[in-house]
């Protein structure tokens, strides 16, 4: 599943200004609502419920918060580059500055896992994440995330 299937241009936030994990999740939930038409509160509550099971901070300054929603019609994602890293209770203790949020229908099953795996593979590449961190231009970020080179990572 290529990242271009998950992200729209409107779902890329190049310089999100937040002061905490909760604020970051709230801002991303609000943008997810604007992109999808789903209720922001339901997105936020579902993401928080998932975070209570364990942090989705995967290490190296990256978090992949995700949730399933009954009202979601398709899998979609958002990407945010944070202006300042925030504590995300990540596995390695490092603060997070790159976030991929993934929302899937409750019936998504294996497709949800494939999408999570796709994102995880892309962010494992230190050169790719360095380029994401160095870029503030929304168009350039979107192209980086959706071009075939990112999809092959």
Residues serving a catalytic function are: 66
Which residues are CB-contacts of 8 (< 8 A; sequence separation ≥ 6)? Answer: 35, 76
Do the Cβ atoms of 98 and 132 come closer than 8 Å? Answer: yes
- The tokens for 20 are 């905490």
Distance CA 142, CA 153 (A): 16
Task: Identify any residues that bridge with 59 across adjacent strands, giving them in sequence order.
Answer: 62
Which is it for the CA torsion 15, 48, 115, 57, positive or negative?
A: positive
**Whether 43 contacts 32, CB under 8 Å:** yes
């Amino acid at each position: 599943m290529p990242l271009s299937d998950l992200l729209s241009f409107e779902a890329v936030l190049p310089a999100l200004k937040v002061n905490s994990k909760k604020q970051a999740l709230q801002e991303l939930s609000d943008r997810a609502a604007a992109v999808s038409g789903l209720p922001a509160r339901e997105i936020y509550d579902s993401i928080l419920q998932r975070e209570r099971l364990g942090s989705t901070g995967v290490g190296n300054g990256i978090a992949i918060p995700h949730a399933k929603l009954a009202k979601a019609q398709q899998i979609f994602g958002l990407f945010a580059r944070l202006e300042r890293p925030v504590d995300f209770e990540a596995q390695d203790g490092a603060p997070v500055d790159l976030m991929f949020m993934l929302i899937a229908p409750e019936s998504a099953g294996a497709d949800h896992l494939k999408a999570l795996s796709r994102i995880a593979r892309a962010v494992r590449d230190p050169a790719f994440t360095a380029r994401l961190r160095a870029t503030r231009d929304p168009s350039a970020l979107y192209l980086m995330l959706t071009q075939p080179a990112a999809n092959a990572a």
